[in-house]
Every structure is written in structure tokens, then in C-alpha cells.
Structure 1
Amino acid sequence: MKRGERLHALSEMLRRSGAQGCTADRLASEFGVSVRTIKRDLDALENSGAPIWSRPGPGGGYGLAARSSLPPVSLTPAQAVALLAAVSAAPDAPYADLASAGIRKILDVLDPRTRKKADELARRVWVNTEPVPTRAVRSAIEEAMADQYVVRIQYSSRNGDKTTRDVEPVIFASTNGRWYLIGWCQLRNEMRWFLVTRIEQASVTRMRCTGHSIQEIGIPPAAAKSVHSAGE
């Protein structure tokens, strides 16, 4: 997760914690960073004007003064649950963490009656999903795709062989309920599909992608479309 995204998610977690607040240890564990990094992030948020409070001693921690950062949102309970279901059913989807944080922001500013009905309806929608890659893996491949940097991955094949590869990310694709990173594999010198759940480690390099295009992947199935065109 890039620092800007982490700062945003951190402020949202502090706001949701209310008067109880969160300890630095809990925040560090949630975001997979050191306590020292969390404290630097808290300082950065405070310097940017965020109303952060701190309470020392046992039972202490950090919090954010309650205030809405969104105008009133008009959603029906079913619309709210539809958003929750979509993200909950696809936790391995690209940028799912950010989508989840965005939905929580929307739910937080719903009027109490709608929020109560949405909560009641949400209890009637269940999902059973496969284990997802770690936050560190997802954040690395998401950052590499967004900024077009080469990502170094440790990949486990179907038969269990492990290889380390430098990949130039081109697209994320979902088919048959599974998400893939498709990119130019510098080890094999060709376009390859990597099942996201088999990426065991990932780190963003400082090497820029060389410009491989979506067209190099081939002709997509007739039913395939980008999420941009899906909303049109």
C-alpha cells in the first residue's frame, strides 16, 4: 500500500474507532508496518490538519475527532448491501481494500434508519471465499500496475515449483471467479498469466515498464469488458 493510501485508510480507521481510539501497536499490525512508521504517519496527518488526539498510559491510544468528511448520501438499504456484497465476494480483486474503505465511508454517513435496515439485510447475505494473498502482496502488485513499475514476484506454479520473476504488469483480469495478473515476464520473455493467489511475495522495483500494450495479450472473449465499459 502506498503511503498516501495508508494515510487515508489510517484516518478512516481512527475515525471509526470513536472515543475508544486505537493503540499504535494495533495500527502497526493492521497495516503491516512498524510502530515507528505509524507514529510518523500520525504526525503527518496531524500536520495536514487532521484533528488527531492521543491518550497516554494503559488503555490509551490515538483517535480522530468525530466529523463527517462526506455530505449526506442517499442510498436504499438494498443498494448499500449490494456494495457490501460485491466487495465481500471478491476480496482478491484489485484495489479491494480501497473499495472496502470507500464503502465504509458511505455507510458511516447514512441516516440511522437506513443504516439499521442495511445492517439487518446484510446479515441475510453470506459469502464464502478462498483465502486471499497478504496485504503486502496485493499492495505491491496494485502499486506496480497503477504506476507502471516492474514488480518482482515469487510465484508458485500448479505443481509447486517456485520461481522469482520480474513482471511488467499490463492488466488485471478475472475469469471463472479467479483474478490474474497478466504481464510481460522477463524470465520467460513473453506475456504470461499469473494467478494472484499463487503470488507468495511481491515487491515493486524502481524499473519502469517498457510499454507492452493490452493488444499483445490477444483478443479477449466476446463477453469480456473493462470495468470502465461495464459501468456505461
Structure 2
Amino acid sequence: MPVVSEQMNRTDRMYAIVEELRAIAPRPRSAAWLAGRFEVSTRTVERDISALQQSGVPVWAEPGRTGGYCLDAAMTLPPVNFSPDEAVALAVALRGLSGTPFHQAGNTALRKLLVAMRETDAHDATELAARIHFVGARPEAPPIPAVLTQAVTARHVLRLRYTDRMGTSTVRDVEPLGYVGSTTGWYLLGWCRLRVGIRAFKLDRIDRVTATAERAPRRTVRPDEIQVPDGDLLTLTLL
């Protein structure tokens, strides 16, 4: 069971909450019980749980008099023996996902790893990461809407407002086929119903996106059908 101290900071407390919920999973713990355990207010516990959920940790609320918060043990990792150096090495590597469709998934994966590490190792990794600085870093890429990445994974037809290289904007329905990475950026590969063919849409030129309820049919893509207008093809991920 995690050790409670008066100086426990928020990061340590969140790790400890996860360990507490893992220890009794799938049974729940109430916010009041957790507040007493970690000597904080129930509001603080609720904020911590909300932050964990937003980070992708599978913590669920069970309603009712005997309810509370529980951890989906099937969706998390047991304690892992990553060293602080190994965890930070992964964090540095995942930084390269900035501007790609996998940026948010990389952040979520890293947080899941941290909460699965031993509390002392996770704390040391957090401290080590704070001492790493990047000089001359590239500008932050515009965020890719979560609705786009989620719909691509689920193969839902997308409605896009897209601005091409000439500055012309169109609205079109697109059946997502995957992603293409080139030396100049990342593209959504899809069957465009407006152009009746496969097109690559540069992600930073998608002005608006809506996921429809329609499931896209599966299509076979040949390499010669993939036309990336800018740069050389580096990565291709098909659904």
C-alpha cells in the first residue's frame, strides 16, 4: 500500500491513487475514503481522478451508495520495472510524434507507463525529465483534432472543409484509408467522394472536420495510387 506523507505532492498522490485502486480492483473506493486515506479534500480527489481519466488511465465512476471509483484492471499494466532513465528515454523518443496523428496517443501511452511504474521510480523519472531541455526546438505543430484520429481508427466517414495549396476551400466527404507521412508533413489518406478517387489531405490544411455515423467500406490501396504533392514519402499507415 502506498506510503502517505504530509509532503506528498500531486504527482505522487495520483500515482498512489492508481496503486490503491489497482490493489482492490475491480471493487470501488469512494472519494471520501480516498480523501481520508491521502489526507486531502474530496474535491482534490475528484480533480485528481479527472486528470487521470483525461490522461487515458481507465478509472471509472460507479454510482450508488456503495459506489465510488474503480480501475479497469484489464486495461492497465501491472507494475513494470522500467528504470527512470528508460522512462525518460521513451519520453524523449515520443517527443518526435509532435505534429503526427499519433501525438496524443503517445502522451497517453507515456502516462500509462508512469502510473504502472513503481512509485519511487516514477517520481525519479519525473524529476529527471524536468532537467532535460531542448534548445532550438522546432515550432509546435497545430493540434490534430481528436475527432479526426478517433474517426479514422473507427473507419467513420469524415466531412472535411479543406483548403488546398492554391487557397481554395471545399467541403467534401472522405472515407478514411490511413495516414501518409512525408518530409514536409502528415496527410490523411482517403477516398474522396467529391473527386471520386484517392486523395491525400495535408493535416494542417483541414480547417474543420466532422465524424459521421456512416462506416466507410474497406478499400484496397495500390502504392501507385498514393500521390503526395509535397516532399518524399516516409511512412504509410493503412487501416
| Fold conserved between structures, TM > 0.5 | yes
Alpha-carbon distance in 1 for matches of 2:197, 2:127: 48
Q: Kindly state the Cα deviation for residue 157 of structure 1 after the two structures are TM-superposed.
A: 1.9
Aligned counterparts of 1:109 and 1:158: Cα–Cα separation in 2: 45
Deviations 1:9-67 (A, max 9, x none): xxxxx9579752456xxx6xx97xxxxxxxxxx9x732499734xxxxxxxxxxx89x9
Which of residues 168, 180, 193 is equivalent to 1:173? 180
- Structure 2 stretches of 5 or more lacking a match? 1-12, 18-39
SS in 2 for 1:151: strand
Alignment match of 1:184 (pick from 187, 191, 200): 191
Match of 2:24 in 1: none
Equivalent residues in 2 for 1:1-232, closer than 5 Å: 15=14, 19=40, 20-21=44-45, 45-47=61-63, 51-52=68-69, 70-111=77-118, 112-113=120-121, 115-117=123-125, 119-121=127-129, 123-126=131-134, 127-133=137-143, 137=145, 139-176=146-183, 178-215=185-222, 218=225, 224=235
Q: Is the 8 A contact 2:187 2:203 kept in 1?
A: yes
Measured in 2, the distance between the counterparts of 1:219 and 1:196 equals 16
Q: For the Cα contact (< 8 Å) 1:81–1:122, is it kept in 2?
A: no
Q: Shift in Å at residue 155 of structure 1? A: 1.1
TM normalised by structure 1 equals 0.62
State the match for 1:11 in structure 2: none
Distance 1:216 1:46 in 2: 49
Q: Could you state the TM-score of these two structures normalised by the residue count of structure 2?
A: 0.60
Q: How far, CA to CA, are the matches of 2:106 and 2:204 in structure 1?
A: 19
**How many residues are aligned here?**
184
CA distance in 1, matches of 2:122, 2:236: 33
Say which is worse superposed, 158-167 or 186-195, in terms of deviation.
158-167
Contact 1:170 1:183 in 2 (8 A): yes
The 3-state SS of whatever aligns with 1:106 is: helix
Change in CA separation of 1:160 and 1:50 when aligned onto 2, cut-off 3 Å: farther
Separation (CA, whole Å) in 1 of partners of 2:61 and 2:122: 31
8 Å Cα contact 2:180/2:233 also seen in 1 = no
1:60-98 Cα deviation digits (max 9, x unpaired)? xxxx89x9x542211133321232123333233224323
Larger CA deviation: 191-200 vs 92-101: 92-101
Shift of 1:153: 0.9
Q: 1:203 & 1:98 partners in 2: Cα distance?
A: 20
The AA in structure 1 aligned to 2:152 is: M
The SS at the match of 1:80 is helix
What is the rounded CA distance, in whole Å, between the counterparts of 2:128 and 2:67 in structure 1?
33
Structure 1 gaps of 5+ residues are: 1-13, 32-41, 53-63, 228-232
CA distance in 2, matches of 1:74, 1:154: 46
Q: C-alpha displacement at 1:177, in angstroms?
A: 5.6
8 Å Cα contact 1:150/1:209 also seen in 2: yes
Give me the CA root mean square deviation. 4.0
CA distance in 1, matches of 2:163, 2:46: 37
Q: Distance in 1 between matches of 2:195 and 2:233?
A: 28
